[in-house]
């Protein structure tokens, strides 16, 4: 039975697809069998796969939420579109919903709708702060704001690094130049697994 991790946020541009693909590459590199279900009409991951011949294990887009659990992977990552209904059906079969949020007041406020969905579905979930800028107290303030909504915020923070965008093409997060990003991503993957399992 596959473990399903849904990456969702009703807001666009928060890093859902970037984190999905980086997590996928991490899991594969660490010996897990993993697939991605791309439910976004923008098809970011599907297009990357085609244009850069990446050979990503893409799950049949017609797979129903019920059938997803029976898929022959240890982990299925579901990338979702930036609106509320997009993740809808898949919330109900998710083992974990990861919500990337950029640490700004606007983005923090915008998580109410996705929080309502995960709370209604009764699924484990947490926010990961993404595109974090160095040395600003704003990040901690946003963390507290989100925690005050009753939502867990992962200890792991993903900084704003070109390495995460680059690795979508080159899958090179494990190179020496990207050591900091690699440590963050490993920390993210392991924190999600710990909370999910
Ligand atoms: N941690 C990060 N550091 C630098 N750039 C990032 C990071 N996360 C996302 N991005 C960039 O932000 C933009 C939006 O990311 P994307 O994954 O497409 O968001 P979404 O899928 O939520 O719409 C992209 O240009 C992506 O390369
Ligand atoms: Mg996307």
pLDDT in tens, 159-195: 999 999 999 999 999 999 999 999 999 999 999 999 9
Question: Which H/E stretch holds residue 34?
Answer: strand 34-38
Question: Nearest Cα to 103, choosing from 145, 161, 166?
Answer: 145
**Is domain 3-196 given the CATH code 3.40.50.970 in the classification?**
no
Question: Which H/E stretch holds residue 124?
Answer: none
Q: Which residue has the least CA distance to atom 27 on ligand 1?
A: 165
Whether 31 shows a pLDDT value over 70: the answer reads yes
CA 15–ligand 1 middle distance (angstroms): 4
- pLDDT category at 148 given cuts 50, 70, 90 is very high
CA 70–ligand 1 middle distance (angstroms): 30
Distance CA 115, CA 82 (A): 14
Distance CA 178, CA 163 (A): 6
- Best residue among 15, 83, 97 to mutate for probing ligand 1, ranked by most atoms within 8 Å of CB: 15
Domain coordinates in residue numbering, the chain: 3-196
CA 13–ligand 2 middle distance (angstroms): 7
User: Could you read off the pLDDT of 152-164 as tens digits, one per residue?
Assistant: 999 999 999 999 9
Ligand number nearest CA of 129 is 1
């Amino acid at each position: 039975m596959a473990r399903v991790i849904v990456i969702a946020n009703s807001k666009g541009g928060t890093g859902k697809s970037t984190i999905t693909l980086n997590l996928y590459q991490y899991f594969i590199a660490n010996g897990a069998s993993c697939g991605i279900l791309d439910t976004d009409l923008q098809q970011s991951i599907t297009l990357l796969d085609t244009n850069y011949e990446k050979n990503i294990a893409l799950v049949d887009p017609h797979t129903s939420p019920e059938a997803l659990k029976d898929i022959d992977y240890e982990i299925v990552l579901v990338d979702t579109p930036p609106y509320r209904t997009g993740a809808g059906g898949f919330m109900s079969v998710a083992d974990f919903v990861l919500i990337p949020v950029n640490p700004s007041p606007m983005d923090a406020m915008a998580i109410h709708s996705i929080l309502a969905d995960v709370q209604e579905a009764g699924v484990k979930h947490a926010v990961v702060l993404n595109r974090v800028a160095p040395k600003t107290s704003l990040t901690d303030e946003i963390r507290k704001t989100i925690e005050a909504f009753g939502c867990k915020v992962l200890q792991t923070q993903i900084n704003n690094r070109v390495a995460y965008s680059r690795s979508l093409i080159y899958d090179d997060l494990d190179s020496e130049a990207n050591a900091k990003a690699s440590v963050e991503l490993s920390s993210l993957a392991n924190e999600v697994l710990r909370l999910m399992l």
